[in-house]
Structure 1
């Protein structure tokens, strides 16, 4: 809605100015707490489960340093991005790609849209795979407890991927980001829950005193593990770490939920980002380092579903239940921008179309026939792709690699420089460009490692035969 349209709203019969913000949209109600919950939901996701494996590839020194560097870069660029929510004249950018369009325009806007929606689409597929693996792990926890750790408890992932899809069809009818706070609160609690359980189980395993091999440089080069394989594994580990900090893609959308008040939206967003990233980093370091200490160089790709832990089985069951509940909400955080973009485009192409505008009230939701059909088809499609591509670590690493530099570094830096008028030849401008170049190299290396891993996985891949 433009400013002129916002002002004209006052002429409408029954208009109550107190119910609307300065742009004419219904008042936003987001707080530091709800914003922080959205961030934690987006950040502490399935990425935490891969960090023990990532540390095992890089070792005691490079692994923690990589985690800390990525956290600091993410926090810094999230500050820059938060300042870009409002333009210099005070107008809002409602979604990430609109901010890029308004500040940078042209080819950069198109590139951003392709990368952002490709990433969001990929994350929803990744979360479908991860949730199914966790649901299978719940059944396997009971199976191993009953029949012993050597029993074959392998199950097909496909029924669980389908179950996840059916639940997401229902949750996808939540209209927009502004009404997702309840899901994010639940998901944030769940993420703390399973990260804490993983932490506790790792501490217990370390306390058992069983000998495991760890190293300053990670998994050692040997007869069955060449220097080339070591290099590619380290690159893939960088991608996994980058994925663990990928929330810039939805930062503007989250910031658009913050209510206007004594603090500007950017200050609230910065406080929430600081808290969310600091909490996430503490959990990441704890889970990654203790997971490596517990399993050594043979740390599984997913330390709660790779069956490094068998007992107490009920705790393993609970941790995987928490993962599944968290990802039910996280899926929505990442697919809502796709839903909003498609629905806005259809509204522009077919203005006044009854199929698009008609609403039915069901319980507390306002259901739209178009929304029900289109969002359901989207979930069905991502569910099918998840059954076709059941790869976890390499898929997660590739998503992190292709999105981290453009969405979390390049565009925030470029938009901030345009908004504040920073000269490229100034000390600040040079620093920002060097930072962007460094992150580009890291993303390219991570992408190369993950692509190689995917190619190797495809060598033994059978469509629709995913098992764990």
Structure 2
């Protein structure tokens, strides 16, 4: 919301929800394409386009998941640092240390309210910098709503599959979005208002509120990371694990500990190295979330339902394909520019 402002940010959140709901509804209607349930997005893409698109979709999905998981570790580390600073602002506990601790806790959890940070209400720099930052924010809005994993998330839904999937989507993008809006708007107001900002950040302010908020954020990110890491665990277990001896056999337990721990170690290392990961998430949103959720969904719908669509409907879906493709390219250019600028400002393992 910061680069877009109150009006732009609020409209952007609502518009991103609407177009995300629409795109996911298209995917839901393709869930039983060809008379067969496709429980993975890449299976659906492979069914429609062939093996090469299966591989490309798989790659984009797991890049998405890796970035989401890495981002969660950064948020957890920021929450820990925010709690520490409330009591001892001596600079001894750096952000990379907090991220490493958060990654360790996440690894432990794997085996067995969005973070309210101080916001920059005005975007510094030249007019061109504000423009590119705004374009990057648009990609982040889309990233906030989508994972490119609808078939995987809804795979166990009971028949009639498509109808119930649409009901679940309507619930998710209406009632389910209210907590997101509430936390976002309250956090933005709290740190944007001069009075509330003073109360929250003053020495005599209600420190316990910030402790509870950040500790809740820490717990939430640990749980969320485990959920979004599950598809990667499933792939690694299926691809490289041994099915003999059951899940609790010693060799299978050791394998899971080593593989999952190794995956989270890589996540944590990247998170500590690049705490300005928001720029990379903008790039991921441009190169992965936009194509998976909007471009590919509309084109797959054309491929499967094309003969039954009117000329107007075909034109509408082609407009979406072309429009979101152009937006994806534009957002990617903006994200690359921000990465270059921030790379010259922040060093690796920066304490932000």
Q: TM-score, normalised by structure 2?
A: 0.85
Residue 9 (structure 2) aligns with: 63
Counterpart CA distance in 1 for 2:28 and 2:54 is 18
Question: Residue by residue, what CA displacement relative to the aligned partner does 1:302-341 show, whole Å, maximum 9, x if unpaired?
Answer: x9xxx86873111111111111111112112222222222
Residue 320 (structure 1) aligns with: 214
Please say if 1:336 is aligned against 2:230. yes
Counterpart CA distance in 1 for 2:50 and 2:201 is 49
Residue 381 (structure 1) aligns with: 266
How many pairs align?
346
Please say if 1:107 is aligned against 2:1. no
Residue 358 (structure 1) aligns with: 245
Residue 109 (structure 2) aligns with: 171
- Specify the structure having the higher radius of gyration (Cα): 1
* SS of residue in 1 equivalent to 2:39: coil
Equivalent residues of 1:96, 1:252 under 8 A apart: yes
Unpaired segments of 5 or more residues in structure 1?
1-50, 144-150, 175-190, 203-212, 348-354
Residue 277 (structure 1) aligns with: 173
Equivalent residues of 1:422, 1:428 under 8 A apart: no
Question: Residue by residue, what CA displacement relative to the aligned partner does 1:109-153 show, whole Å, maximum 9, x if unpaired?
Answer: 22212211111112111111111111111222233xxxxxxx555
CA separation of 1:61 and 1:434: change in aligned 2, threshold 3 A: same
Counterpart CA distance in 1 for 2:206 and 2:155 is 43
Equivalent residues of 1:126, 1:395 under 8 A apart: no
Equivalent residues of 1:395, 1:450 under 8 A apart: yes
CA separation of 1:66 and 1:438: change in aligned 2, threshold 3 A: farther
Aligned counterpart in structure 2 of residue 257 of structure 1, from 156, 181, 188:
156
Higher helix share: 2
Residue 205 (structure 1) aligns with: none
CA-CA distance at 1:370 after TM superposition: 2.4
Counterpart CA distance in 1 for 2:207 and 2:149 is 36
CA-CA distance at 1:378 after TM superposition: 1.0
Question: Residue by residue, what CA displacement relative to the aligned partner does 1:161-186 show, whole Å, maximum 9, x if unpaired?
Answer: 22222233233346xxxxxxxxxxxx
Equivalent residues of 1:358, 1:369 under 8 A apart: no
Counterpart CA distance in 2 for 1:92 and 1:130 is 36
Equivalent residues of 1:140, 1:154 under 8 A apart: no
Question: Residue by residue, what CA displacement relative to the aligned partner does 1:258-277 show, whole Å, maximum 9, x if unpaired?
Answer: 2x3xx423223222221222
Counterpart CA distance in 1 for 2:193 and 2:280 is 21
CA-CA distance at 1:257 after TM superposition: 2.8
Equivalent residues of 1:391, 1:457 under 8 A apart: yes
Please say if 1:133 is aligned against 2:78. yes
Question: Residue by residue, what CA displacement relative to the aligned partner does 1:97-118 show, whole Å, maximum 9, x if unpaired?
Answer: 1111112224322221221111
Q: Which moved more, 1:287-296 or 1:64-73?
A: 287-296
Equivalent residues of 2:23, 2:294 under 8 A apart: yes
Please say if 1:117 is aligned against 2:62. yes
Residue 433 (structure 1) aligns with: 318
Equivalent residues of 1:120, 1:335 under 8 A apart: yes
* SS of residue in 2 equivalent to 1:93: coil
CA separation of 1:285 and 1:255: change in aligned 2, threshold 3 A: closer
Equivalent residues of 1:122, 1:399 under 8 A apart: yes
CA-CA distance at 1:63 after TM superposition: 2.7
Counterpart CA distance in 1 for 2:58 and 2:247 is 31
Alignment of 1:289-308 (within 5 A): 289=185, 291-296=187-192
CA separation of 1:356 and 1:239: change in aligned 2, threshold 3 A: same
CA-CA distance at 1:466 after TM superposition: 3.2
* SS of residue in 2 equivalent to 1:357: coil
Equivalent residues of 1:128, 1:161 under 8 A apart: yes
CA-CA distance at 1:424 after TM superposition: 7.7
Equivalent residues of 1:356, 1:369 under 8 A apart: no
CA-CA distance at 1:290 after TM superposition: 5.1
Question: Residue by residue, what CA displacement relative to the aligned partner does 1:13-72 show, whole Å, maximum 9, x if unpaired?
Answer: xxxxxxxxxxxxxxxxxxxxxxxxxxxxxxxxxxxxxx3x2xxx2234433322222111
CA separation of 1:369 and 1:154: change in aligned 2, threshold 3 A: closer
Equivalent residues of 1:154, 1:467 under 8 A apart: no
